[in-house]
Amino acid sequence: MAEEKMIRPVSNSMINNGNELNSCSINSISGSVIEEAFPMNGGDGQYSYGKNSNRQRKAADNVKAMLVEAILENLQIGNLCSTTKSNSFCIADFGCSVGPNTFIAVNNIIETVTQKFEIEGQSSLLPEFHVYFNDHVSNDFNILLSNLPQNQQYYAAGVPGSFHGKLFPKASLNFAYSAYSVLWLSKAPQTCNKGRIYYSHSPKEVSEAYSFQFANDFKSFLDARAQEVVPGGLMVLLISGRPDGTLPQQYSLGPLYDPVESCLLDMVDEGLLSVDKIDSFNMLTYSPSMEEVRMVLLENGCFEIARLEEQPPMSVPLNTTQELRAGMESIITKHFGCDIVEPLFDRYSKKIAAQSRPPLTAKDGLAVGLFILLKRRK
């Protein structure tokens, strides 16, 4: 019963957690999981995620062909309707944020599932689509739901709560999807990271603490999805990661965070921030190797690994100030306080303008994209 309360249909009662919740973190409660949440900026202003998520969109576009192929080759529509209570096909996007990327992904999934029914001559059995948009409670569900596409061919609902806990009834999802969200850790790794905000230039102990936290979080994520996804159901995960046989320091999101770290250290030098504040701050993302991903999957044992591979390579420019604010403002504000926001991002703008560097690639130590396709064992 507890899970059912978490699924709320689109209604006015749902549309009530607006922007004011997004400027600072609040605790997110999902089942027994209580964790800190640092959502992307809501609203539709110049620093909103909705206006500044083009790079995640390009990354998802980059794997559209893989997604389509994954569905066409692996979805078994034969016993689909017998596995759910009604003639419905349920899709959940875990860590959907505020759009528009989630709407594009959902559209791609529905189009391809429909195509699969057509290819198999089963168009008359096409199910109704239900789409559940999940993110932390403090995500701006108001803007997400009010921006639902006009001509949407599905029933939609927002599902607030951490994806590290169970969010749906048993065997209720046909397709689980998550883009660039499972790399977010539930809490800062327990480690002393002196003078740094990330593990990319840190001693081994620091990256080991990140790796440990990722393994725990990914285990919780899989344990929950194993209960929710129907036997034969599919799960596609897009995350940043690294090739096997490489160290965490070699490929990470560090190259994107380096200019922010440098600005924070400048502020320490200028006496505007205490060094303790930097030492106790760690960015909450981790880019695992394929081996680390595989180990947690094997330990869980409920999913067949249909594909676990690198995405086609991409080059990525440094974050614009707007993009960085859209993604990091809540975590920065929570740790350093609101007063730091303008001076920090102002310094960041000047620093990246002075650098004018070519886009980053894996040669610069940037993490690679991983495409993970899982099938729930029967």
| Binding-site ranges for ligand SAM (CB under 6 A) | 39-40, 53, 56, 60, 95-97, 101-102, 134-136, 139, 162-164, 179-181, 184, 186
**Least distance CB 277 / ligand SAM (angstroms):** 23
> Whole-number minimum distance, CB 89 to ligand SAM, in Å?
20
**Closer residue to ligand SAM, CB minimum distance, 117 or 177:** 177
Q: Which is nearer to ligand SAM, 182 or 278 (CB)?
A: 182
Least distance to ligand SAM from the beta carbon of 303, Å? 19
Question: Closest approach of Cβ 371 to ligand SAM, in Å?
Answer: 14
Residues 6+ apart with CB under 8 A from 105: 60, 67, 93, 177, 179
Q: Residue 365 in contact with residue 248, Cβ under 8 Å?
A: no
> Across the strands, what pairs with 29?
34
- Closer residue to ligand SAM (CB): 273 or 328: 328
Q: Residue 202, exposed/middle/buried by CB under 10 A (0-12, 13-18, 19+)?
A: buried
Bridge partners, residue 173, by sequence: 229
Which CB sits closer to ligand SAM, 166 or 242? Answer: 166
Q: Which is nearer to ligand SAM, 47 or 180 (CB)?
A: 180
Contact 292, 211 (CB under 8 A): yes
> Which residue shows structure tokens 């067949």?
304
Q: How far apart are CA 22 and CA 246, in angstroms?
A: 36
Q: Which is nearer to ligand SAM, 197 or 278 (CB)?
A: 197
Residue-wise DSSP of 168-218: S-TT-EEEEEEES-TTB-SS--SS--TT-SSSTTS-HHHHHHHHHHHHHHH
Residue 185, judged by CB atoms within 10 A of its CB (0-12, 13-18, 19+), counts as: buried
Q: Tell me how many helices (H) and strands (E) the chain has.
A: 12, 10
User: At its nearest, how many Å lie between ligand SAM and the CB of residue 132?
Assistant: 12
Q: Closer to ligand SAM by CB, 84 or 252: give it.
A: 252
Strands 128-135 and 88-94: parallel
Q: What DSSP designation does 289 have?
A: B
Write down the least CB distance from residue 135 to ligand SAM, Å: 4
Q: How far is the CB of 181 from ligand SAM (least distance, A)?
A: 3
Determine the Cα–Cα distance for residues 21 and 41; give it in Å rounded to an integer: 10
Instruction: Select 135 or 261, whichever has its Cβ closest to ligand SAM.
Output: 135
Question: Min. distance of Cβ 78 from ligand SAM in angstroms?
Answer: 30
